A and B are shown apart, each in its own frame.
Chain A
Amino acid sequence: DSGVTQTPKHLITATGQRVTLRCSPRSGDLSVYWYQQSLDQGLQFLIQYYNGEERAKGNILERFSAQQFPDLHSELNLSSLELGDSALYFCASSVGAREGETQYFGPGTRLLVL
């Protein structure tokens, strides 16, 4: 158990809908990273937050957004969902935002868009 929790574990929805994925980092960790794992693209970095502020963006679609709240949990919002958004979404946390820090991954949320 990494100490990172993600809810829900599974999500099934329809095209055009909007969903929210939730992540609680390990106690004391200030950084949260979101990654998407799909069969065709593999594991890709989406976005990072550090202590409530956006730190970096990767291959994140404009339909997707995220935020980190004062209690440090983070939410990833996916809107106008398409079939291709079906994937496993991971959250990872690290103590800070320093080079070489280990990122601890949650169990993921499996999203299926029908």
Chain B
Amino acid sequence: AQSVTQLDSQVPVFEEAPVELRCNYSSSVSVYLFWYVQYPNQGLQLLLKYLSGSTLVKGINGFEAEFNKSQTSFHLRKPSVHISDTAEYFCAVSLSYSGAGSYQLTFGKGTKLSVIP
């Protein structure tokens, strides 16, 4: 089974400051990694995903994440945040191979990012 740990439940940060949201995962098999964002009263939107190749993945809205296999981490970063980035961010994993053809997502508990003017 896979599990995802998001180490910070809440992260306050001033506008235009950098931010890092931490994600660690545990799995006995190879997984793919995802970051989703949930704005208030909305569904989840994909920010970025890591499947293979370069360990630095760039996503939408200026976010990027780095896959670190040895540390089983997939931290999300943004060099300068805006008020509009205030939202909840979810890290997730899915199997990279499933004989049953099912690739459901296993989510972390989420990190609420609050950008302070």
Is there an interface contact between A56 and B104, defined as CB atoms closer than 8 Å? yes
What count of chain B residues pass the 8 Å CB interface test?
Answer: 27
Is there an interface contact between A97 and B101, defined as CB atoms closer than 8 Å? yes
Is there an interface contact between A100 and B51, defined as CB atoms closer than 8 Å? yes
Is there an interface contact between B44 and A99, defined as CB atoms closer than 8 Å? no
Name the residue on A nearest B52 (C-beta): A100
Cβ of A18 under 8 Å from chain B:
no
What count of chain A residues pass the 8 Å CB interface test?
Answer: 28
Chain A residues with Cβ below 8 Å from B32 are 99-100
Known: A99-B32, A100-B96, A105-B43. A48 touches B104 (CB 8 A): yes
Chain A residues with Cβ below 8 Å from B108 are 42
Which residues of B line the A interface, CB within 8 A? 32, 36, 41-46, 49, 51, 90, 94-98, 100-110
